[in-house]
Structure 1
Amino acid sequence: MFHTHQQQRRFELFIYYFVAFLLLWEWLRPLQDFTETSHTSYFIMFIALMCLFTFFRLKWFVTFPICIGLILLALYFIFYQTEPSYPAALFDDIKDNVTLIRLGMWSDMYPSFRTLLFYILLWLLVYLLHYWVVYQQRIFFFLLMTIIYVTILDTFTPYDATFAIVRIMVFGFCLLGLLYFDRLRSVERIRISQKERLKWCLPMLTLVLISATLGATLPKSDPNWPDPVPFLKTVTNQDGDGGQNKVGYSADDTSLGGPFREDRTPVFKWSGKEPSYFRVETKSIYTGKGWEDASNDTKPVRLEDNKVQNQWFTERVKTKVHEMRVDIEKNYQFNHALYPIGTTSLTPLDEIPLKMMGKTEKIVPAVQHPPQNLGNYRISFQSPTFILEDLQKMKVPTKQQVNREIGREYLQLPSSLPERVKTLAYSLTETKNQMYDKVKAIEDYLGSDTYSYETQNVAVPGQNQDYVDQFLFDTKIGYCDNFSTSMIVMLRSVGIPARWVKGYTSGQLFETQMDGDNVYEVTNNNAHSWVEVYFPKLGWVTFEPTKGFTNPEEFTNESHFSNQRKDQKEEEDQPESKARENQQAEQPQQKGTKQPAEPKEQTTQTERSVMNVGSMLSYILAGIILLGNTSWILYRFRARWLPFFIVRKVKRLAEDEAFFYAYDALLKQLKRKGMEKKPSMTLREFAAFIDGKYGDDEMTELTLLYERAFYRKEDASALWHQSAKLWENLINRR
């Protein structure tokens, strides 16, 4: 009968843990929609395992090394796969972030460190839920906080919590009812059979499900209050011209649309020979209304010696090195850099240290108190020339390939995207077999007479309208944001990875210098957004769908490029040409047998990747073994070090509680030493047994005092004063 009751209790606890896990899951679901957090599946698996460990009551020396190993493994796969020495890199990042915390620079913490802290928070939260469910038998506070959290996200972010609210109410009310039933049973001190329990649970479950179904399906009246988000944004972005915004850079792109008026305020001047678009940042999360920052899976990268380590193109893309100088106007209110794609170095004349912000690729000062703007700086960049034959050979990559090479956010689309947008994208590209042809088909379609460029009579999407859908099918009038966003959404609809880039065009010619360099002036009117498409084995390629704008990148066919290369070779110095000919003559001819360099490089990179993974796994395995051995040694000799902490805890307890806790702790300590009290023994018999072991009567004396406090209800505080020293001698014995 007792065994049956234990099984019943275990099943009840399993239900409690499962429902609590579902509630905690609701906290993680929205993260990918409104934050830079991705890889939420790692977090979900972690809390699921933690709930299982807690349910099975595994010892801490078992769960601790396993959980540490899981966290380290997750951090490796999310952030450190490219690091040759993962443990050293992680340790360095932790040291850097501790320094940032000490300096109060919380916003500059690396994503890897924030993820580590988030794992620790989830770990603690699972134990907190365990305490609420098992010991307190109350979950109302956690349920209330979950409801508030989800409803706030539903109101102020793109996250749609319609079904989340229904799930939370079902899970929460079921758990509330079950725990309330358990509290009643505990207060009344009665045992209830499984049949009697079902008589309580089934009607409660039926009532909850019926209520939730009615609440989700019945028609609802329109809200009495308007959506506060557009109102707040209108207030904050409004200027003196009836709410119409000026053109120019804005950090907030979450709500696109609406008219703009011209603004000729100068932003910067640049001097050089190669015109280019000037990037500020990229954004890759389309919400249906606008853009949010890309998923930041990499930490900010410090520009060591002003070198930009970012690789926009592979070595297969032919590039030419150019130099330019940028002079930002003193009144420019932003401290980001403006730079062309392919930048290899960016050197501020004021020697300001810089960093690149993860996948957004925004370059900003790496100082605690940054200046208003970067002032003047020099740029060295590689201007690409894309060979059309190479682009036209590319097939659309698989989702797995995109996720592995650049990240899944570049194929992200909101679930609310109207189906007719996807249908249009498929109809434009279904006859095209290659990736480049599909991209050009969409770019050419947006550049056709179907759509018009306009900055004044541009609509703002309504509450239930999609920004791209409204432009493609309803208004067909807009400016760069409309064209670029629509192209990216249609590309992603057919599986082509793309991202949204914002910055400035090259501006207007201002003057020509004596050395032949041209000086261009860029104003707020030159603020612009465009498209970058990822081609495997080549990199990011710029496309320009906005009518009236010209793509700054160069595209050429292979024969034309070969002729250019031939002309360049003929212009080289004669001695150098002869030296090269002599060097070629010395090499044996191996026509048809020489292997291309690229597969070897790929093989080497693959071998290095395998070696890095193997090295990382060996480090993690060694760490787990070390933690396991340390935990086992601590557990094996716990009888020697635990009394120190027990004595300290007893001294902090109230005097009327200390005696009872101390005596129970002493019994447990004796059990650890191999002297366990058998169920058939009385306390006095067990005390006599212990005294026989030690050769004195201290345990018997302590037991007599304890019985007076426990059974006779004498003053426990006074009796504890008499026995405290006696108890301390017994628990500290070796």
Structure 2
Amino acid sequence: MKNTLKRLKEYAAFEWYSRISRIIIIFSLLNAIAVFENYWWQATFTSIYMALLLAGAVDVLLPGMRRRLRLPLQLLLVVVSTWLVVGASPSLTGSEEGLRKFGAMIWSMLVQFNPYIWFSLAMLATYLLFSAWTTSRVRLFGFIGANLLILTVADSFTPIWLWDNVAWVVLLGLIWLAAGHLHQFQRHHPGSWKELLHYPLQLFMPIAAVLALLMAAGLFMPSISPVLRDPYTIWKESKGEKVNVFLGEKGSDAGGVTLDTSSGYGRDDDQLGGGFNFDYSPVMTVASSHRSYWRGETKSFYTGSGWLELDEGTEPNNVNQLKKEQELSLPYDRKLADTIEVEQTVTMIRKDQYPVLFAAAPINRIHWINDPEANLSYRLTWAPDDQELRFPLQGRGRQPYPESYSVVSTVPVLDEAKLRSTHARLYSSNENDHYTQLPDNLPGEVKQLAEELTKTATNDYDRAKMLELYLRLNFVYTNEPDLGKLTGESDDFVAQFLFEIQEGYCDYFSTAMAVLARSVDLPTRWVKGFAPGALPALGVDAADRFDIDTFLQGEGTYTVRNSDAHSWVEIYFEGYGWVSFEPTAGFSFPYTIAGEDAAAPTPEVEEDTDEAVKAAAAEKTDVSYKGFYIVGISLLALLLAVSLIVRRQELKAAWLRFRFRSYTANERIVWETERLLRVCRRKGLKRSEHETLREAVQRFAQHRTDIHSELTQVLNDFERAKYSGAEATPEEAEQFVNKVKHVISLL
């Protein structure tokens, strides 16, 4: 008990700096990974946070724990916290027995852990690495500098605002340097340190005031344009390229500099073109019964440079004052089309305002908005001609965009045979003219190309598919089209894409198809919204939990990001309605094909099923064995790693014995003394060329009175080994090595 109290007292007296270092490392890493909060899955982010906080808590709160016990405890806490965050549970089919059953159980849990456990273990390893590495002021500067370099580069060349993160790293670095200075003062002048502790306010208040003043000045200084340009900007501008300048709000114009835009859903479509940077920040999640494009607005008037919607808000068929479960009508007949219902629950992540509610098209009913139990309080408008569920962005009493909503859509089933039997013609001649409009100055070569591509088609649907396939196969997708290819011969956006640039992103492809389709009298409109997004990583923990039908139809919760913002086209077919087409290379519209959603016939059951049962059992056994082998190898690798870490001191001692096997005891003492001098030089105790070792040690002792006796013992042992001619014993050499280690620990 006395020894424990003594150790705790020593820790409180001297190891406070170690605890502060651990805390600063934790906050620095938390500050760094906070950048990815809106880019990673929430479970990934939470498991990493928990792993880092628990590992740090063990170091800070259990200072007396031996290292060989501390690391296994940290590993255990990381695994348990990840398990709790992910909610993993063993899953068995019931046919396994004994050791195979245990292996299958562990395997099912590891599958559910993937990939979260690897992120957590990587963060634990990063924390332990930096905790062990930042033992000197030079390495401390290296850690802070690496943090600042990563954050400042990301802040300068991405749309992410990271200035606050940079400021916090600077503050943490200054606190760390101040703590290191005080720690060195305590070690070198323990008496003066004790005296200073009698006046804590006078000691710490100036430090806190200076740090607070610097932090406030950094955070609240106004943003200004840079006076000097960096080499990267000069190099990019010399090539005629633009460099993003971010001031104040990210992406806002600064000093008249034209900025590249970031991907996302925007309203200004009258001037298409240019390039953009991908923004992977999430916009919303969509829990849907089927995979789909999440449709937003449609535009129908092509100007030659972009799209306009001239009559928005004046359509006579618009319906206001909508109610829950009210069926939203359509102004056209869909007698030829079979439909399926797609249930969707949308949860917004960003706080942006949008002019429409996003969903698979067309929306049929609204279940609820924000609250499943409340009546609709939002002033929505159903525009059946455009199939838009509009949300007011202007006017008195403007409401915030819904945080969540649930709708059902009636999506047409794609039946190509029926589509080939009908015509692409609208229900009135005026409407048909509206959706075949083209500017008078459209280059004639665009119409000629459309006619040439479709001359062999015998029906309107095949004409549309030929145009779609031509664009998908002959043009390159890129978010940074080379505008240097423009010759200036044409001002038309589509003509420039088809005959000059021949590369681009969705706006280029979709607008080109809309214009080509209109050139052969197919009623077409331009649509924008979001591509489906991404499902979570597929983790199937047991065969009986996997529903192949659910997987194929795309049921799940999709994370939709700004990088998923997309545009495509719709063409009207008589008796069918508006049909989506996807001309963009690399994209595929998630159609429901006729026959895919039909009820599967009940298979005939044969009386003799022994062979099938045996085959299934053999396959399951093979999977179980594979899982057991993988689990076994993983556990052995983990145990080996833990053993190496726990026994690292013994391994280090064995390596030193091997290294110095040819040294005599005297040679080993001389080598260790030289090593001590190298450490002293790094600590500021330099030996001059004209000094003997005794003179240097005597001078060192005057500056460091606290280690005078230890230095004198080392000096005497060195002179005896170097000059006396008497051979030291191996035991004396080992004792000298321990003395040197002790002196180094006191420096």
Q: Considering the TM-score relative to the shorter chain, is it more than 0.5?
A: no
TM-score for both structures, normalised by structure 2: 0.42
